[in-house]
Structure 1
């Protein structure tokens, strides 16, 4: 009897076949159609004839699925083992991150008009309230078959003007809705998290500049309220909602690109580092110097903001029509704003492991390890910090004018100004 198989579709093409060999092992093999195209799934999985064994493809495929408890809850809903990647992709792979769809072998993507269940405020609030036991909105309709990596409670939704809907039968989503997590007494576990994440995204967009480039720097977002509960609604940069039908844009995170399970830097473990991430850009990006500049500016702004959670699954690549480059910034949260949050950096900067110890020398040492000349690195860091300092007053006023201001924004801005001084590279 032949081994069970699934078809991995990429940008409308059957690009690879996933085969279940039993005992929890699977392989991935590019199809002949893919071998005659530029349909690259991952920088870690270049197109070739021979199949990729489990040890080489596992981290890319697992990266298409949620993590830990969310994955277990999805598995329980489908009554399948959570550790069985093949079965999980078969159950939830119809709309993954990037341009990937995983379908039963012989089934083709549905090109008919997308099926959307438009929700009332009451239904949306119920789906949000059910996230601890029904992640990604699976409790609202049995036809929801979406997947996205990560631990945070979120809904994958479709936004059309004032309407928000749930995708059915693998229809592409356009936005990610992340509600503030609540304590048992109804207070926010991380006070003002939606507003602070929006502040972080807007600050990155205002602070990071690339010469001769008008590309998107950070994910677009807004703060909304669903029956009294704050949430951030983030536009997916891996979807082109202006295209009809919605076009999927391929992306992968750096755990996938590095072929690693661990997303945090840990001593004596096979774990990601900023140097390894920069090397992926050097080896694969369409314009390596520009992408390293962007990575350095992302890093600089995140440090000044107080985001300790810039880990390898919160940074990614877009792989679109032959162009490989750093993805827009997302999940930019000033975690240092909360006294009870971990202040260790998910990815260390030079020899600096904690937000309170990292300074301009650490940043310069980190950039040097990527091969960036010191004069260029110092200029790029100073430029990002200067743009950031200039942007703070206007962004605070913008938050007031748009109605998402919270006093914690002022605290974050004050702390950011202090870190800007410390992170400025020393004079030569």
Structure 2
């Protein structure tokens, strides 16, 4: 039977216990009720332990899918469903501020001192304070070797330890930006946090770097909710997307973690239920479920408006992959806030399933959305229906996105330009809006 202490970085003592019972089921119990916030919306503070379904819904989503996880499973003879056993070896630096460590081991996470807790990466570019409008940043030396290994083998070089394993199947490494702009890795044993994520795709997917960077920039321009800032690292056949973490706070030379959870965790959904189509009527990533989460945020009205506008821009950008793990809640007090937007990728350009991650009204595809669908969606997430003010705002969002698309560089942004033109054409026509759409080349749409 595995027993783990669960920590939040801001709390010195364990906040709870995660254990595997004799029958293989998971349970979690809080050890204190004096917390700045609960571990999850799905796990409010209470005396009674949580059973397998609720516990697994949160903690299984802390694990990542990559070669390191497979190595741990093989080395220690662990099954994929043995969440506590995997976190025994992999839980020291989970996403956000959570860590899961062997009972009695002590906290694994600590704030980082930028002056003493990090080793600079040889060949790092000088990264500006803000990534806004940063051009491609050159790389060399050790950083280039790490990026090449992530590109070619989706793992770090053998001599490089992973300071902060990250969720997802794409090649990634977490790094910290030093005050002089260089990128660095936390020194082993310090428990220091990182400040940025560097994603490096495979060689055949290298065009994903500029297109996600451009799409993220348009998301930030077209609506008012915060968006993770990005920059392109490297060039040619070796590029990565540098992403500023929203679950970090840098203050007086120290880096602190902020607690966050994705919508799968907040809804108690396993990672395979991140799309509504994979769920059931009572357990799914649906508009109604999203509304339930947004109602529990610090500013529900603002969160509902932001989610609606972000959803529309994702439709216009061809990002149908905005699933439950690509939305999050961020905690800086007792009630969470709708976190900044991340993973904005125009997957309409890929040969994948283009069905939306959740239904908008009765529509499953973005080009099917009409006024009654937007009305039903708004009401489902707890907002007013689709009246004239909302109609005017949608027209503004379409026109702002089209203006941003017109300014995209060529030929790099040509595919994204076509996606936006096609999506804007369908949405404006379905809503009876007289909006001038520039000529675009058709982008194939894969339907279920």
Is TM more than 0.5 here? yes
Structure 2 counterpart of 1:193 = 208
Q: Does 1:232 align with 2:241?
A: yes
Q: Residue 314 of structure 1: CA displacement?
A: 0.6
Q: Is the 8 A contact 1:136 1:146 kept in 2?
A: no
SS in 2 for 1:95: coil
Query: Does the C-alpha gap of structure 1 residues 8 and 126 become closer, same or farther in structure 2, counting only changes over 3 Å?
Result: same
Q: Distance between the aligned counterparts of 2:212 and 2:112, measured in 1? A: 36
Provide the residue aligned with 1:206 in structure 2. 221
Question: CA 1:276 to 1:136, structure 2 compared with 1: closer, same or farther past 3 Å?
Answer: farther
CA, structure 1 residues 64+268, in 2 after alignment: closer, same or farther (shift >3 Å)? closer
CA distance in 2, matches of 1:406, 1:129: 25
1:27 deviation in Å?
Answer: 2.0
Contact 1:238 1:251 (8 Å CA) reproduced: yes
How big is each residue's C-alpha offset from its partner over 1:186-229, in whole Å with a ceiling of 9 and x where there is no partner?
xx33x6211221222222211223xxxxxx51111112216741
Give runs of aligned pairs for residues 57-68 of structure 1, distance below 5 A: 57-67=55-65
* 1:412 and 2:419 matched: yes
Residue in structure 1 matched with residue 144 of structure 2 by the alignment: 125
SS of structure 2 residue aligned to 1:386: helix
- State how far apart, in whole Å, the 2-side matches of 1:246 and 1:235 are: 13
CA distance in 2, matches of 1:80, 1:131: 26
Counterpart residue number, 1:185: none
- Whole-angstrom CA distance in 1 between matches of 2:413 and 2:391: 29
8 Å CA contact retained: 1:137, 1:156: no
1:305-384 matches, within 5 Å, as: 305-338=317-350, 340-375=351-386, 379-380=389-390, 382-384=392-394
For 2:370 and 2:284, how far apart are their aligned partners in 1? 23
Distance in 2 between residues matched to 1:116 and 1:227, nearest whole Å: 29
More displaced, 13-22 or 192-201? 13-22
Which residue number in structure 1 is paired with residue 263 of structure 2? Answer: 254
Q: Give a deviation string over 1:99-148, Cα, whole Å, max 9, x none.
A: 21223333134457464343233333333343379766484434x35233
| Aligned length, in residue pairs | 404
Q: 2:289 aligns with which of 276, 281, 286?
A: 276
Distance verdict in 2 for CA 1:372–1:124, change over 3 Å = same
CA distance in 1, matches of 2:347, 2:432: 23
Mapped to 1, the partners of 2:79 and 2:147 lie a distance apart of 23
Deviation at 1:392, TM superposition (A): 4.3
> Within 5 A, what are the aligned runs for 1:416-427?
416-422=423-429, 424=431
User: Is 1:30 aligned to 2:37, yes or no?
Assistant: no
Could you list the runs of 5+ residues in structure 1 that have no partner in the other structure?
A: 183-187, 210-215
Residue aligned with 2:8, SS: strand
Normalising by structure 1, we get a TM-score of 0.83
Asked if residue 81 in structure 1 is aligned to residue 78 in structure 2, the reply is: yes
Select between 265-274 and 299-308 the one with higher mean Cα deviation: 265-274
1:387 positional shift: 3.8
Distance 1:307 1:328, change over 3 A: same
Question: 1:23, CA displacement in angstroms?
Answer: 4.9
Cα deviation per residue 1:350-370 (whole Å; 9 max; x = unaligned)? 111123323343222221333
State the alpha-carbon separation in 2 of the partners of residues 244 and 49 from structure 1. 38
CA contact (8 A) 2:93 2:165 kept: yes
Distance 1:360 1:347, change over 3 A: same
**What's the TM-score once normalised by structure 2's chain length?**
0.80
Alpha-carbon distance change, 232 to 382 in structure 1, aligned in 2, over 3 angstroms: farther
Deviation at 1:413, TM superposition (A): 3.9
Gaps of 5+ in 2: 123-139, 435-448
